[in-house]
Chain A
C-alpha cells in the first residue's frame, strides 16, 4: 500500500475494459442526443401549438418524463416491456427485449422532455420583431421558422443545451442498472473483483471528466462559429477611433439587450 489510494497497476490493467465501457457510454450518448435533436423540435412545436389536441399530449409528455426519476423510468421500461404481451410476442421484441435499446428508449424519453423546455425557451427568446419583419417581407411562415427563428434559437439556446448535454452524459451512468455494460458498470465490476474502492472509480471518473471536457471544447467551437457576427464586432473595435469605439459599444449594448436571454 502506498500513500495514494490508487493502484496504478490495477488502473492500467483495467484500462482496456474501461475504454470498452466508455465506448458504450459514448455510443448511447450519441444515439440519444441524435434522437433528441430529431424529436425535440416536433414535440416542442406540438407543445407550443394553439391546437389543444397537439399541445395537451405534448405538455403531459413533458411533465411526466421530466418528473419521472430516470432510474425508475429505466426499470419500468426494461422490466415493464416484458410484461406487455403484444410487445413480447411482437416482431419488435428484439428491440424491446434488449437492455441496450431499453436504455436508449428510457434516456431518450427523459432527454426529449428536458429538451422541449430548452427549445421552447430559445424559440420564445427570438424577438417578435424579427418574425414580424420576415412576415412583412412576404417570407412564408415555414421559411421564417427555418431561416430566422430556428437558427437564432440555436444561438440563444446553446448554453442551456450544453448544460443539458453535460448533465445527460454524466447521467448515463444509471443505465448500468439495466445490465448495460457502460463505463460505470465496468468500474463496478472491477470493484467487485478487487474490493479496491478507489482505483476503478477514480479511473472511470477521469474518463468521464475527459469526455465531458471534450464535449465542452466542441461546444466552444460551435459557439464561436454560430456567434461569428458578434466576433466580427469585437475585431472591428480594436483599430477603431475613440468615437467609433463608443458607438460600437452602444450598439453592442443595444444588441445584447435585444438578444440576451439566457
Chain B
C-alpha cells in the first residue's frame, strides 16, 4: 500500500530520528469543565512508528487519542498531524480526519447499513469517490481483513471480532496515513482478541503509523516501537516495550504492571 512497506520498522526498537513527524503534541492541556484530563502532554510520533499507550482507567488515554483527530478539542498547547496544525477551523479538522483512521472499543459500525455499505459510505461522502470505485475499495479492504464473504450482512449478524475487523477495514477504506486504536480488543471475548490483533499486526508490518491504546502486552512486545504510560492525565514514562515491561522506571508504572499482571 505504501512505500514504507519494505522498510520493516518493526525490527528497530526506536525509530530513526530522521523520519518525518506524523503526530506532534506539545504542552497539550484538556479540561472537562473543572476537571483536567490532560496535563502538559508532549508526544512525538514519527512516520511508520507504532506507539502503545497504556495506563489505569480514567488516566486520559482516550482523551489523548481523541484529541489527535479532534473528536475532543484541546484547550492549550499544539497538536500537529502530518504538518496540519489543529487550530479549531473546520477545514483543518476535516483535513486531519482524512489523515487519521480511528477504531473504537465499541466498534461503532452503522447498524442500519450492510458491511459493504459501512465501508463505502466515507469514501463516497468524505472523498467524493464514485459508487463503483467505492465498492471496489471496500471489497479490497474487506478481503484484507478476511471478511469479504460477509459483505452483504448487517453488523448485528457478525461476531464481535468480525465487527471489529470490519471497523478496521472501514477506516482503511479512507486510506489514512495514521491509525488510532482506542482499546480495540477490550470489548471482545478472549477467543476473538487474536483475530483482531492479527489484523493490526499485519497493518503494522505494512508500515502504517499506529497509535494504540491497549493493554495487550504480547502485541506491545511484538509491534510497539515505544510504550507510553499515562497516569492522572500525564505521560509518566516512555520506553521500548522491553524496558517498559521488563525494567520499568517509575513506581507508578511498577504498580500498574503489578496490577495488570496480578
Residues of A within 8 A of B (CB): 127, 129-130, 132-140, 143, 147-148, 151-152, 155, 226, 228-230, 232-233, 236, 247-248, 251-252, 255, 258-259
Contact = CB atoms under 8 A, between A and B. Distances in A.
Interface string B152-193: 011111111000000100110010000000000000000000
Given A233-B154, A255-B156, A139 B121 contact: yes
A30 B194 CA distance: 55
Given A138-B174, A140-B125, A233-B154, A152 B102 contact: no
Contact of B71 (A135, A138, A258): A135
Contacts of A137: 97, 101-102, 121-122, 126, 170-171, 174
A232 B98 contact: no
A129 B106 CA distance: 8
B112 A151 contact: yes
A194 B21 CA distance: 90
B102 A136 contact: yes
B112 A152 contact: yes
Among B125, B156, B158, B170: residue with most chain A CB under 10 A:
B156
Given A137-B174, A151-B112, A251-B160, 8 more contacts: A136-B69, A137-B97, A137-B122, A138-B127, A155-B112, A229-B155, A232-B157, A252-B156
Interface residues of B, number: 32
Nearest to A143: B125
B64 interface: no
B241 interface: no
Consensus secondary structure, chain A interface: helix
Interface of B: 69, 71, 94, 97-98, 100-102, 104, 106, 108-112, 121-122, 125-127, 153-160, 167, 170-171, 174
A136 B127 contact: no
Given A132-B71, A132-B108, A152-B111, A139 B156 contact: no
A247 B171 CA distance: 26
A237 to B, nearest CB: 10
The 8 lowest CB-CB distance pairs between A and B, nearest first, are A138-B126, A229-B154, A133-B108, A137-B122, A136-B102, A143-B125, A138-B97, A129-B108
Nearest to B70: A135
A226 B153 CA distance: 15
B183 to A, nearest CB: 13
B121 A229 contact: no
Interface centre among B125, B126, B160 (most CB of A within 10 A): B125
Contacts of B158: 251
Nearest to B170: A137
Contacts of A228: 154
A260 B167 CA distance: 22
Nearest to A226: B112
29 contacts: A129-B104, A129-B106, A129-B108, A132-B104, A133-B108, A133-B110, A134-B110, A136-B100, A136-B101, A137-B101, A137-B170, A137-B171, A137-B174, A138-B127, A139-B121, A139-B125, A140-B125, A151-B112, A152-B110, A152-B112, A228-B154, A229-B112, A229-B154, A229-B155, A232-B154, A232-B156, A233-B154, A233-B156, A236-B157
B104 A133 contact: yes
Nearest to A237: B157
Contact of B97 (A136, A147, A248, A252): A136
A138 B154 contact: no
A133 B126 CA distance: 13
Contacts of B102: 133, 136-137
A25 B100 CA distance: 55
A135 B180 CA distance: 14
A259 B111 contact: yes
A222 B217 CA distance: 48
Nearest to A233: B156
A259 B170 CA distance: 21
Nearest to A148: B110
Contacts of B110: 130, 133-134, 148, 152
A136 B71 contact: yes
A212 B86 CA distance: 54
Residue among A127, A134, A138, A147 with max Cβ neighbours from chain B (10 Å): A138
A22 B109 CA distance: 45
A140 B157 contact: no
A232 B111 CA distance: 12
A104 to B, nearest CB: 33
Nearest to B155: A229
A140 B108 contact: no
Nearest to B119: A137
